[in-house]
A and B are shown apart, each in its own frame.
Chain A
Amino acid sequence: MSQPQSAAEAEMASLIVEALNLEGVEPTEIDPAAPLFGKGLGLDSIDALELALEISKRYGVQMKSDDENNREIFASLASLTAHVMATRPA
Protein backbone atom coordinates (compact mmCIF):
# COMPACT_ATOMS: atom_id res chain seq x y z
CA MET A 1 0.00 0.00 0.00
CA SER A 2 1.39 3.36 -1.03
CA GLN A 3 -0.14 5.46 1.75
CA PRO A 4 -2.19 4.68 4.86
CA GLN A 5 -5.95 5.32 4.89
CA SER A 6 -7.30 8.23 6.94
CA ALA A 7 -10.20 7.50 9.32
CA ALA A 8 -12.69 8.92 6.82
CA GLU A 9 -11.19 6.84 4.01
CA ALA A 10 -11.38 3.70 6.14
CA GLU A 11 -15.09 4.34 6.73
CA MET A 12 -15.67 4.93 3.01
CA ALA A 13 -13.70 1.77 2.19
CA SER A 14 -16.05 -0.31 4.36
CA LEU A 15 -19.06 1.33 2.69
CA ILE A 16 -17.68 0.42 -0.74
CA VAL A 17 -17.01 -3.21 0.21
CA GLU A 18 -20.45 -3.65 1.78
CA ALA A 19 -22.44 -1.77 -0.86
CA LEU A 20 -20.78 -3.55 -3.76
CA ASN A 21 -20.61 -7.15 -2.52
CA LEU A 22 -16.85 -7.07 -2.55
CA GLU A 23 -16.49 -9.67 0.18
CA GLY A 24 -13.00 -11.03 -0.19
CA VAL A 25 -11.58 -7.52 -0.39
CA GLU A 26 -10.35 -6.24 2.95
CA PRO A 27 -11.48 -2.59 3.26
CA THR A 28 -8.12 -1.75 4.83
CA GLU A 29 -6.34 -3.10 1.76
CA ILE A 30 -7.87 -0.58 -0.67
CA ASP A 31 -5.10 1.79 -1.70
CA PRO A 32 -6.49 5.32 -1.28
CA ALA A 33 -4.74 6.45 -4.45
CA ALA A 34 -5.51 3.46 -6.70
CA PRO A 35 -8.21 3.72 -9.38
CA LEU A 36 -11.65 2.39 -8.29
CA PHE A 37 -13.09 1.96 -11.77
CA GLY A 38 -11.70 0.38 -14.92
CA LYS A 39 -8.62 -1.22 -13.41
CA GLY A 40 -8.19 -1.65 -9.66
CA LEU A 41 -11.46 -3.03 -8.25
CA GLY A 42 -12.94 -3.11 -11.75
CA LEU A 43 -16.16 -1.30 -10.88
CA ASP A 44 -18.78 -0.32 -13.50
CA SER A 45 -21.64 2.15 -13.95
CA ILE A 46 -24.13 0.13 -11.87
CA ASP A 47 -21.57 0.24 -9.06
CA ALA A 48 -21.36 4.00 -9.41
CA LEU A 49 -25.15 4.16 -9.01
CA GLU A 50 -25.10 1.83 -5.97
CA LEU A 51 -22.31 3.88 -4.40
CA ALA A 52 -24.12 7.17 -5.03
CA LEU A 53 -27.30 5.80 -3.39
CA GLU A 54 -25.40 4.46 -0.37
CA ILE A 55 -23.43 7.69 0.02
CA SER A 56 -26.64 9.71 -0.06
CA LYS A 57 -28.12 7.43 2.61
CA ARG A 58 -25.04 7.42 4.85
CA TYR A 59 -23.68 10.96 4.41
CA GLY A 60 -26.63 12.95 3.04
CA VAL A 61 -24.52 13.91 0.03
CA GLN A 62 -26.28 13.94 -3.37
CA MET A 63 -23.94 12.91 -6.14
CA LYS A 64 -24.91 13.95 -9.68
CA SER A 65 -24.67 11.51 -12.58
CA ASP A 66 -24.06 14.31 -15.08
CA ASP A 67 -21.43 16.03 -12.93
CA GLU A 68 -18.50 16.79 -15.23
CA ASN A 69 -16.17 16.15 -12.31
CA ASN A 70 -17.40 12.59 -11.70
CA ARG A 71 -14.33 11.13 -13.36
CA GLU A 72 -12.15 12.91 -10.80
CA ILE A 73 -14.55 12.36 -7.88
CA PHE A 74 -14.82 8.59 -8.43
CA ALA A 75 -11.15 8.26 -9.45
CA SER A 76 -9.97 6.79 -6.16
CA LEU A 77 -10.92 6.14 -2.55
CA ALA A 78 -9.05 9.31 -1.59
CA SER A 79 -10.80 11.57 -4.12
CA LEU A 80 -14.25 10.14 -3.38
CA THR A 81 -13.78 10.55 0.38
CA ALA A 82 -12.48 14.09 -0.07
CA HIS A 83 -15.50 15.04 -2.20
CA VAL A 84 -18.02 13.55 0.24
CA MET A 85 -16.34 15.15 3.26
CA ALA A 86 -16.24 18.55 1.53
CA THR A 87 -19.90 18.51 0.47
CA ARG A 88 -21.59 16.73 3.38
CA PRO A 89 -24.15 18.82 5.24
CA ALA A 90 -22.89 20.20 8.56
Chain B
Amino acid sequence: MTVGDFFSLTRPSLFLVSGGHRWSVEEYLERAARVAAQLGASAAPVINLCEQRAAFLVAYMAALLSARTTLLPSSRAAEAVAAVAAEYPGSVVVDDALVAAATADRGSELSAAPLATEVNADFVAMIGFTSGSTGVPTRHAKRWGTVAASTVHNAAALRAAIPPELSGKQPWVVGTVPSQHMYGMELTVLLPLLDGMGIHAGRPLLPEEVAAALAEVPEPRVLVSTPAHLRAIVASGVVLPKTAVVACATAPLDAELAAQVEAATGGILVEMFGSTETCILAHRRTAQERWWTPYTGVELHPESEHTRVSAPWFLQDERLLDLVERDDRGRFSLLGRSADLVDVAGKRASLGDLNQRLLRIPGVVDGVIFQPQQSRGLVRRLAAMVVAPGLTTEQLREALAPAMDPVFLPRPLLLVPSLPRTAAGKLPRATLEEALADLLSAGAAKRGVADV
Protein backbone atom coordinates (compact mmCIF):
# COMPACT_ATOMS: atom_id res chain seq x y z
CA MET B 1 0.00 0.00 0.00
CA THR B 2 1.29 3.47 -0.82
CA VAL B 3 0.71 6.71 1.07
CA GLY B 4 -1.41 7.85 -1.87
CA ASP B 5 -3.69 4.84 -1.34
CA PHE B 6 -4.59 6.05 2.17
CA PHE B 7 -6.72 8.82 0.82
CA SER B 8 -7.62 7.58 -2.66
CA LEU B 9 -10.37 5.28 -1.43
CA THR B 10 -12.22 7.93 0.51
CA ARG B 11 -11.13 11.17 -1.18
CA PRO B 12 -12.00 13.47 1.69
CA SER B 13 -11.80 17.11 0.67
CA LEU B 14 -10.97 18.35 4.15
CA PHE B 15 -8.66 16.58 6.54
CA LEU B 16 -8.15 18.74 9.60
CA VAL B 17 -10.05 21.54 11.31
CA SER B 18 -9.38 23.64 14.36
CA GLY B 19 -10.88 27.09 14.64
CA GLY B 20 -9.00 29.08 12.01
CA HIS B 21 -7.13 26.12 10.52
CA ARG B 22 -8.75 24.11 7.73
CA TRP B 23 -6.41 21.80 5.88
CA SER B 24 -7.11 19.85 2.73
CA VAL B 25 -5.42 16.47 2.36
CA GLU B 26 -2.99 18.10 -0.11
CA GLU B 27 -2.03 20.79 2.39
CA TYR B 28 -1.48 18.19 5.10
CA LEU B 29 0.75 16.08 2.85
CA GLU B 30 2.67 19.12 1.68
CA ARG B 31 3.47 20.10 5.28
CA ALA B 32 4.55 16.54 6.01
CA ALA B 33 6.83 16.57 2.95
CA ARG B 34 8.46 19.79 4.22
CA VAL B 35 9.17 18.20 7.59
CA ALA B 36 10.45 15.03 5.88
CA ALA B 37 12.83 17.18 3.78
CA GLN B 38 14.11 18.80 6.98
CA LEU B 39 14.88 15.40 8.52
CA GLY B 40 17.49 14.58 5.90
CA ALA B 41 18.26 11.42 4.04
CA SER B 42 18.78 8.80 6.74
CA ALA B 43 16.07 6.32 7.67
CA ALA B 44 16.78 6.52 11.42
CA PRO B 45 13.66 6.59 13.62
CA VAL B 46 11.74 9.74 14.57
CA ILE B 47 11.01 10.39 18.23
CA ASN B 48 7.66 12.16 17.96
CA LEU B 49 7.22 14.52 20.94
CA CYS B 50 4.62 16.85 19.35
CA GLU B 51 1.98 17.93 21.85
CA GLN B 52 -0.24 19.63 19.29
CA ARG B 53 -2.36 17.14 17.41
CA ALA B 54 -1.84 18.80 14.02
CA ALA B 55 1.93 18.82 14.47
CA PHE B 56 1.86 15.21 15.65
CA LEU B 57 -0.04 14.15 12.52
CA VAL B 58 2.36 16.07 10.28
CA ALA B 59 5.39 14.52 12.00
CA TYR B 60 3.89 11.03 11.80
CA MET B 61 3.26 11.40 8.06
CA ALA B 62 6.75 12.87 7.58
CA ALA B 63 8.14 9.70 9.18
CA LEU B 64 6.04 7.50 6.85
CA LEU B 65 7.12 9.50 3.79
CA SER B 66 10.77 8.89 4.66
CA ALA B 67 10.26 5.25 5.72
CA ARG B 68 11.21 6.00 9.32
CA THR B 69 9.78 4.22 12.33
CA THR B 70 8.10 6.52 14.88
CA LEU B 71 9.18 6.13 18.51
CA LEU B 72 6.77 7.17 21.26
CA PRO B 73 8.46 7.57 24.70
CA SER B 74 6.24 6.95 27.73
CA SER B 75 6.42 10.65 28.58
CA ARG B 76 8.12 13.85 27.48
CA ALA B 77 10.23 13.84 30.63
CA ALA B 78 13.88 14.32 29.68
CA GLU B 79 14.97 10.97 31.19
CA ALA B 80 12.30 9.02 29.26
CA VAL B 81 13.29 10.65 25.96
CA ALA B 82 17.01 10.20 26.63
CA ALA B 83 16.52 6.50 27.39
CA VAL B 84 14.75 5.97 24.04
CA ALA B 85 17.32 8.07 22.13
CA ALA B 86 20.17 6.07 23.65
CA GLU B 87 18.58 2.84 22.44
CA TYR B 88 18.22 4.18 18.86
CA PRO B 89 21.41 6.00 17.89
CA GLY B 90 20.82 8.52 15.13
CA SER B 91 17.13 8.94 15.94
CA VAL B 92 15.74 12.45 15.45
CA VAL B 93 13.49 14.27 17.90
CA VAL B 94 10.58 16.06 16.23
CA ASP B 95 8.54 18.44 18.38
CA ASP B 96 5.98 21.22 17.86
CA ALA B 97 8.74 23.79 17.33
CA LEU B 98 10.49 21.77 14.61
CA VAL B 99 7.23 21.21 12.73
CA ALA B 100 6.35 24.91 13.02
CA ALA B 101 9.77 25.97 11.74
CA ALA B 102 9.81 23.48 8.86
CA THR B 103 6.37 24.55 7.64
CA ALA B 104 6.67 28.29 8.33
CA ASP B 105 7.67 29.20 4.76
CA ARG B 106 5.18 27.34 2.59
CA GLY B 107 5.92 29.49 -0.47
CA SER B 108 9.31 27.93 -1.09
CA GLU B 109 9.95 25.34 -3.77
CA LEU B 110 9.05 21.79 -2.83
CA SER B 111 8.95 18.70 -4.94
CA ALA B 112 5.50 17.11 -4.60
CA ALA B 113 4.90 14.88 -1.58
CA PRO B 114 6.11 11.40 -2.55
CA LEU B 115 2.69 9.76 -2.52
CA ALA B 116 4.11 6.66 -4.14
CA THR B 117 6.09 5.87 -0.97
CA GLU B 118 5.35 2.24 -0.34
CA VAL B 119 4.36 1.30 3.21
CA ASN B 120 4.84 -2.46 3.57
CA ALA B 121 2.97 -4.69 5.99
CA ASP B 122 6.24 -5.49 7.75
CA PHE B 123 7.30 -1.86 8.17
CA VAL B 124 7.49 -1.03 11.89
CA ALA B 125 4.86 1.70 12.02
CA MET B 126 5.60 2.68 15.61
CA ILE B 127 7.28 1.57 18.79
CA GLY B 128 5.47 2.66 21.93
CA PHE B 129 7.19 2.60 25.30
CA THR B 130 5.25 2.07 28.53
CA SER B 131 6.72 2.88 31.91
CA GLY B 132 4.91 0.14 33.82
CA SER B 133 5.09 0.17 37.58
CA THR B 134 8.81 -0.45 37.64
CA GLY B 135 9.92 2.59 35.69
CA VAL B 136 11.83 0.32 33.27
CA PRO B 137 10.43 1.07 29.81
CA THR B 138 8.82 -1.82 27.89
CA ARG B 139 8.89 -1.72 24.07
CA HIS B 140 5.77 -2.36 22.02
CA ALA B 141 6.65 -2.54 18.32
CA LYS B 142 3.74 -2.45 15.87
CA ARG B 143 3.91 -3.64 12.27
CA TRP B 144 2.07 -1.55 9.73
CA GLY B 145 0.06 -4.60 8.62
CA THR B 146 -1.14 -5.14 12.19
CA VAL B 147 -2.24 -1.59 12.95
CA ALA B 148 -3.76 -1.10 9.50
CA ALA B 149 -5.91 -4.22 9.93
CA SER B 150 -6.94 -3.13 13.44
CA THR B 151 -7.90 0.26 12.06
CA VAL B 152 -10.20 -1.30 9.44
CA HIS B 153 -12.07 -3.03 12.29
CA ASN B 154 -12.10 0.09 14.49
CA ALA B 155 -13.55 2.12 11.62
CA ALA B 156 -16.23 -0.48 10.92
CA ALA B 157 -17.25 -0.65 14.62
CA LEU B 158 -17.58 3.14 14.86
CA ARG B 159 -19.22 3.64 11.47
CA ALA B 160 -21.82 0.99 12.33
CA ALA B 161 -23.04 3.29 15.12
CA ILE B 162 -23.61 6.24 12.78
CA PRO B 163 -27.31 6.65 11.93
CA PRO B 164 -28.21 5.78 8.30
CA GLU B 165 -29.17 9.35 7.34
CA LEU B 166 -25.59 10.49 8.09
CA SER B 167 -23.74 7.41 6.91
CA GLY B 168 -22.84 8.84 3.50
CA LYS B 169 -21.02 11.84 5.01
CA GLN B 170 -17.42 12.15 6.18
CA PRO B 171 -17.28 11.57 9.95
CA TRP B 172 -15.22 13.99 12.06
CA VAL B 173 -13.17 12.91 15.06
CA VAL B 174 -12.66 15.05 18.17
CA GLY B 175 -10.29 13.49 20.70
CA THR B 176 -9.77 14.33 24.38
CA VAL B 177 -6.85 11.90 24.50
CA PRO B 178 -3.23 12.56 23.51
CA SER B 179 -1.97 11.10 20.22
CA GLN B 180 1.06 9.41 21.82
CA HIS B 181 -0.52 6.41 23.48
CA MET B 182 -1.75 3.36 21.62
CA TYR B 183 -5.45 4.23 21.97
CA GLY B 184 -4.83 7.80 20.80
CA MET B 185 -2.67 6.54 17.92
CA GLU B 186 -5.38 4.14 16.80
CA LEU B 187 -8.34 6.52 16.88
CA THR B 188 -6.91 10.03 16.42
CA VAL B 189 -4.04 9.25 14.02
CA LEU B 190 -4.55 6.00 12.10
CA LEU B 191 -8.34 6.30 11.83
CA PRO B 192 -8.19 9.70 10.06
CA LEU B 193 -5.25 8.56 7.89
CA LEU B 194 -6.71 5.24 6.78
CA ASP B 195 -10.46 5.70 6.95
CA GLY B 196 -10.88 9.19 5.56
CA MET B 197 -12.38 10.61 8.74
CA GLY B 198 -11.66 14.27 9.42
CA ILE B 199 -9.84 15.20 12.59
CA HIS B 200 -10.16 18.19 14.92
CA ALA B 201 -6.68 19.49 15.71
CA GLY B 202 -7.46 20.35 19.33
CA ARG B 203 -7.22 18.25 22.43
CA PRO B 204 -10.13 19.64 24.45
CA LEU B 205 -10.26 18.43 28.04
CA LEU B 206 -12.63 20.64 29.99
CA PRO B 207 -16.35 20.09 29.30
CA GLU B 208 -16.92 23.51 27.70
CA GLU B 209 -13.89 22.99 25.46
CA VAL B 210 -15.15 19.60 24.33
CA ALA B 211 -18.52 21.16 23.45
CA ALA B 212 -16.83 23.98 21.53
CA ALA B 213 -14.55 21.61 19.58
CA LEU B 214 -17.47 19.37 18.64
CA ALA B 215 -19.37 22.44 17.41
CA GLU B 216 -16.44 23.27 15.09
CA VAL B 217 -16.81 20.08 13.06
CA PRO B 218 -19.73 18.93 10.92
CA GLU B 219 -21.92 15.87 11.56
CA PRO B 220 -21.53 12.97 11.96
CA ARG B 221 -19.27 13.61 14.96
CA VAL B 222 -17.13 10.99 16.67
CA LEU B 223 -15.84 11.85 20.16
CA VAL B 224 -12.83 9.80 21.28
CA SER B 225 -12.51 9.91 25.05
CA THR B 226 -12.00 8.12 28.37
CA PRO B 227 -14.23 7.34 31.39
CA ALA B 228 -12.54 10.10 33.44
CA HIS B 229 -13.11 12.75 30.78
CA LEU B 230 -16.69 11.60 30.10
CA ARG B 231 -17.48 11.62 33.83
CA ALA B 232 -16.34 15.25 33.96
CA ILE B 233 -18.51 16.12 30.95
CA VAL B 234 -21.63 14.48 32.40
CA ALA B 235 -21.07 16.01 35.85
CA SER B 236 -20.73 19.51 34.37
CA GLY B 237 -24.10 19.34 32.64
CA VAL B 238 -22.61 21.12 29.61
CA VAL B 239 -24.80 21.09 26.49
CA LEU B 240 -23.07 19.14 23.71
CA PRO B 241 -23.78 19.31 19.99
CA LYS B 242 -25.37 16.14 18.66
CA THR B 243 -22.57 13.56 18.53
CA ALA B 244 -23.32 10.36 16.64
CA VAL B 245 -20.64 8.19 18.24
CA VAL B 246 -18.63 8.38 21.45
CA ALA B 247 -15.69 5.99 21.64
CA CYS B 248 -14.39 5.23 25.12
CA ALA B 249 -11.39 3.22 26.32
CA THR B 250 -8.46 3.10 28.80
CA ALA B 251 -10.49 2.00 31.85
CA PRO B 252 -13.76 0.17 32.42
CA LEU B 253 -16.90 2.26 31.97
CA ASP B 254 -20.09 1.56 33.91
CA ALA B 255 -23.46 1.18 32.21
CA GLU B 256 -24.95 4.13 34.11
CA LEU B 257 -22.32 6.60 32.92
CA ALA B 258 -22.57 5.14 29.41
CA ALA B 259 -26.34 5.80 29.40
CA GLN B 260 -25.77 9.34 30.68
CA VAL B 261 -23.26 9.99 27.90
CA GLU B 262 -25.73 8.71 25.31
CA ALA B 263 -28.42 11.01 26.74
CA ALA B 264 -26.05 14.00 26.71
CA THR B 265 -24.83 13.44 23.14
CA GLY B 266 -27.91 11.97 21.47
CA GLY B 267 -25.59 9.31 20.08
CA ILE B 268 -24.26 5.83 20.76
CA LEU B 269 -21.42 5.09 23.14
CA VAL B 270 -19.11 2.39 21.79
CA GLU B 271 -16.70 1.16 24.44
CA MET B 272 -13.52 -0.26 22.93
CA PHE B 273 -11.58 -3.08 24.56
CA GLY B 274 -7.90 -3.67 24.02
CA SER B 275 -4.45 -3.25 25.43
CA THR B 276 -1.13 -1.81 24.40
CA GLU B 277 -0.08 -5.34 23.40
CA THR B 278 -3.15 -6.20 21.30
CA CYS B 279 -4.55 -2.82 20.17
CA ILE B 280 -8.37 -2.61 20.22
CA LEU B 281 -9.92 -6.02 19.58
CA ALA B 282 -13.54 -5.85 20.77
CA HIS B 283 -16.38 -3.42 21.41
CA ARG B 284 -19.74 -3.21 23.11
CA ARG B 285 -22.59 -0.74 23.54
CA THR B 286 -22.03 -0.42 27.27
CA ALA B 287 -25.38 1.24 28.02
CA GLN B 288 -27.13 -1.93 26.81
CA GLU B 289 -24.61 -4.77 26.70
CA ARG B 290 -22.40 -6.52 29.21
CA TRP B 291 -20.82 -8.81 26.62
CA TRP B 292 -17.99 -7.72 24.36
CA THR B 293 -18.11 -8.57 20.66
CA PRO B 294 -14.61 -9.39 19.39
CA TYR B 295 -13.57 -8.27 15.91
CA THR B 296 -14.00 -10.97 13.28
CA GLY B 297 -11.01 -13.28 13.41
CA VAL B 298 -10.06 -12.54 17.03
CA GLU B 299 -9.90 -15.65 19.17
CA LEU B 300 -9.57 -15.70 22.94
CA HIS B 301 -8.02 -18.68 24.68
CA PRO B 302 -8.50 -18.53 28.46
CA GLU B 303 -5.49 -19.83 30.39
CA SER B 304 -4.97 -20.08 34.12
CA GLU B 305 -3.69 -16.58 34.93
CA HIS B 306 -4.33 -14.73 31.68
CA THR B 307 -5.94 -14.95 28.24
CA ARG B 308 -4.08 -15.75 25.05
CA VAL B 309 -5.32 -13.82 22.01
CA SER B 310 -4.85 -14.64 18.36
CA ALA B 311 -5.90 -12.67 15.30
CA PRO B 312 -5.05 -13.02 11.62
CA TRP B 313 -3.25 -9.64 11.71
CA PHE B 314 -1.00 -10.55 14.67
CA LEU B 315 2.48 -11.86 13.92
CA GLN B 316 2.23 -13.98 17.06
CA ASP B 317 -0.30 -14.60 19.82
CA GLU B 318 -0.54 -11.86 22.43
CA ARG B 319 -1.36 -12.08 26.09
CA LEU B 320 -4.13 -10.21 27.91
CA LEU B 321 -3.82 -9.97 31.68
CA ASP B 322 -7.61 -10.11 31.98
CA LEU B 323 -9.52 -13.33 32.61
CA VAL B 324 -12.53 -13.81 30.33
CA GLU B 325 -15.68 -15.90 30.12
CA ARG B 326 -17.06 -16.71 26.64
CA ASP B 327 -20.66 -17.27 25.59
CA ASP B 328 -21.89 -19.54 22.80
CA ARG B 329 -22.09 -16.63 20.37
CA GLY B 330 -18.36 -15.93 20.58
CA ARG B 331 -18.78 -12.88 22.79
CA PHE B 332 -16.92 -12.52 26.08
CA SER B 333 -17.15 -10.79 29.43
CA LEU B 334 -14.37 -9.92 31.84
CA LEU B 335 -14.06 -11.96 35.00
CA GLY B 336 -11.54 -9.59 36.47
CA ARG B 337 -7.86 -10.07 36.39
CA SER B 338 -5.16 -11.47 38.54
CA ALA B 339 -5.67 -9.86 41.97
CA ASP B 340 -2.20 -8.41 41.82
CA LEU B 341 -2.91 -6.19 38.83
CA VAL B 342 -4.34 -2.69 39.30
CA ASP B 343 -5.49 -0.24 36.68
CA VAL B 344 -5.46 3.50 37.41
CA ALA B 345 -6.57 5.83 34.62
CA GLY B 346 -5.61 3.23 32.04
CA LYS B 347 -2.13 2.51 33.41
CA ARG B 348 -1.44 -0.87 34.90
CA ALA B 349 0.87 -1.92 37.69
CA SER B 350 1.52 -4.85 39.96
CA LEU B 351 0.22 -4.19 43.48
CA GLY B 352 2.84 -6.55 44.88
CA ASP B 353 5.55 -4.55 43.21
CA LEU B 354 4.17 -1.21 44.41
CA ASN B 355 3.94 -2.58 47.97
CA GLN B 356 7.54 -3.77 47.80
CA ARG B 357 8.58 -0.26 46.84
CA LEU B 358 6.70 1.17 49.80
CA LEU B 359 8.18 -1.32 52.25
CA ARG B 360 11.73 -0.68 51.02
CA ILE B 361 11.58 2.97 52.12
CA PRO B 362 13.84 3.44 55.17
CA GLY B 363 11.70 4.15 58.23
CA VAL B 364 8.63 2.26 56.94
CA VAL B 365 7.79 -0.47 59.46
CA ASP B 366 4.62 -1.77 57.85
CA GLY B 367 2.30 -0.58 55.16
CA VAL B 368 -0.17 -1.46 52.44
CA ILE B 369 -1.15 0.03 49.09
CA PHE B 370 -4.54 -1.06 47.71
CA GLN B 371 -7.34 0.15 45.44
CA PRO B 372 -10.50 0.90 47.43
CA GLN B 373 -13.82 -0.01 45.81
CA GLN B 374 -15.30 3.40 46.44
CA SER B 375 -13.53 6.52 45.46
CA ARG B 376 -14.50 10.10 44.87
CA GLY B 377 -13.27 11.84 41.79
CA LEU B 378 -12.84 11.01 38.14
CA VAL B 379 -10.66 7.90 38.50
CA ARG B 380 -10.24 5.19 41.12
CA ARG B 381 -6.94 5.97 42.80
CA LEU B 382 -4.85 3.81 45.06
CA ALA B 383 -4.83 4.35 48.82
CA ALA B 384 -2.12 3.59 51.37
CA MET B 385 -1.92 3.12 55.10
CA VAL B 386 1.60 3.21 56.42
CA VAL B 387 3.26 2.63 59.79
CA ALA B 388 6.37 4.80 59.84
CA PRO B 389 7.07 6.44 63.19
CA GLY B 390 9.36 9.38 62.64
CA LEU B 391 8.36 10.01 59.00
CA THR B 392 5.90 12.66 57.82
CA THR B 393 3.47 12.03 54.95
CA GLU B 394 5.44 14.57 52.95
CA GLN B 395 8.69 12.63 53.44
CA LEU B 396 6.89 9.40 52.50
CA ARG B 397 5.47 10.96 49.37
CA GLU B 398 8.89 12.26 48.38
CA ALA B 399 10.40 8.82 48.89
CA LEU B 400 7.66 7.11 46.83
CA ALA B 401 7.56 9.61 43.96
CA PRO B 402 10.77 8.56 42.17
CA ALA B 403 9.78 4.89 42.41
CA MET B 404 6.51 4.99 40.47
CA ASP B 405 4.47 6.75 37.81
CA PRO B 406 2.60 9.65 39.52
CA VAL B 407 -0.73 8.04 38.64
CA PHE B 408 0.02 5.25 41.15
CA LEU B 409 1.04 7.56 44.01
CA PRO B 410 -1.42 6.58 46.72
CA ARG B 411 -3.97 9.08 47.91
CA PRO B 412 -5.02 9.19 50.53
CA LEU B 413 -1.62 8.36 51.95
CA LEU B 414 -2.27 7.97 55.67
CA LEU B 415 0.13 7.40 58.55
CA VAL B 416 -1.32 4.98 61.09
CA PRO B 417 -0.06 3.51 64.37
CA SER B 418 -0.64 -0.05 63.12
CA LEU B 419 -2.37 -1.98 60.34
CA PRO B 420 -5.55 -3.99 61.07
CA ARG B 421 -3.82 -7.34 60.58
CA THR B 422 -5.58 -10.58 61.53
CA ALA B 423 -4.01 -13.01 63.97
CA ALA B 424 -2.53 -14.77 60.97
CA GLY B 425 -0.98 -11.50 59.85
CA LYS B 426 -3.28 -11.07 56.87
CA LEU B 427 -4.99 -7.87 55.72
CA PRO B 428 -8.48 -8.82 54.54
CA ARG B 429 -9.86 -6.52 51.89
CA ALA B 430 -13.04 -5.65 53.82
CA THR B 431 -11.07 -4.76 56.94
CA LEU B 432 -8.81 -2.46 54.93
CA GLU B 433 -11.79 -0.71 53.34
CA GLU B 434 -13.43 -0.24 56.72
CA ALA B 435 -10.27 1.08 58.38
CA LEU B 436 -9.76 3.54 55.52
CA ALA B 437 -13.37 4.76 55.68
CA ASP B 438 -13.03 5.31 59.46
CA LEU B 439 -9.80 7.26 59.06
CA LEU B 440 -11.27 9.43 56.31
CA SER B 441 -14.46 10.31 58.18
CA ALA B 442 -12.41 11.07 61.31
CA GLY B 443 -10.18 13.33 59.22
CA ALA B 444 -13.12 15.08 57.61
CA ALA B 445 -14.74 15.66 61.00
CA LYS B 446 -11.50 17.14 62.30
CA ARG B 447 -11.30 19.57 59.40
CA GLY B 448 -15.00 20.41 59.64
CA VAL B 449 -15.63 19.11 56.12
CA ALA B 450 -19.00 17.61 55.29
CA ASP B 451 -18.61 13.98 54.30
CA VAL B 452 -19.97 13.87 50.76
- A interface residues with partner B (beta carbon < 8 Å): 14, 18-25, 29, 38-39, 41-46, 49-50, 52-53, 56, 62-66
Contacts and interface: CB of A to CB of B under 8 A. Distances in A.
A21 B208 CA distance: 24
Contacts of B449: 18
B413 interface: yes
B345 interface: yes
B412 A49 contact: no
B235 A53 contact: yes
Contacts of A21: 375-377, 381, 411-412
Nearest to B397: A42
A43 B232 CA distance: 18
A41 to B, nearest CB: 7
B134 interface: no
Interface in B393-434: 393-394, 397-398, 400-401, 406-407, 409, 411-415
Given A23-B414, A24-B413, A53 B440 contact: no
B407 A44 contact: yes
Contacts of B439: 23
Contacts of B394: 25, 29
Contacts of B236: 53
Contacts of A50: 232, 377-378
Contacts of A38: 406
Contact of A24 (B235, B377, B401, B414): B414
Nearest to A37: B406
Contacts of A64: 206, 209
Interface stretch (B123-131, B161-169, B197-205, B286-294): B197-205
A30 B413 CA distance: 15
Nearest to B347: A44
Interface residues of B, number: 40
A41 B202 contact: no
B204 A65 contact: yes
Contacts of A14: 447
Contacts of A63: 206
Given A24-B412, A44-B407, 19 more contacts: A18-B449, A19-B377, A21-B375, A23-B411, A23-B414, A23-B440, A23-B443, A23-B444, A24-B443, A29-B394, A38-B406, A42-B409, A49-B205, A49-B206, A49-B229, A53-B207, A65-B204, A65-B209, A66-B204
Contacts of B381: 21
Interface string B347-386: 0000000000000000000000000000111110100000
B130 to A, nearest CB: 15
Given A42-B409, A53-B232, A24 B203 contact: no
B259 interface: no
A48 to B, nearest CB: 8
Given A49-B205, A52-B206, A66-B209, A22 B401 contact: no
B232 A42 contact: no
B228 A66 contact: no
Given A62-B206, A66-B202, A42 B401 contact: yes
A49 B375 CA distance: 16
Contacts of A20: 377, 411
A53 B206 CA distance: 7
20 contacts: A21-B377, A23-B443, A23-B444, A24-B413, A25-B413, A39-B401, A42-B409, A44-B345, A44-B406, A44-B407, A45-B205, A46-B228, A46-B378, A46-B379, A49-B206, A49-B228, A49-B229, A49-B378, A64-B209, A65-B209
Interface centre among B206, B209, B381, B443 (most CB of A within 10 A): B206
A21 B228 CA distance: 15
Contacts of B235: 53
A65 B205 contact: yes
A19 B411 CA distance: 11
Interface string B331-355: 0000000000000010000000000
Contacts of A44: 345, 406-407
B212 to A, nearest CB: 10
Contacts of A41: 397
User: When A and B form their complex, which 9 residue pairs have the shortest distance between CB atoms, in order from nearest?
Assistant: A65-B205, A23-B412, A24-B393, A44-B406, A42-B409, A42-B406, A24-B414, A21-B411, A24-B413
Contacts of A42: 397, 400-401, 406, 409
B412 to A, nearest CB: 4
A18 to B, nearest CB: 6
A5 B413 CA distance: 23
Nearest to B452: A18
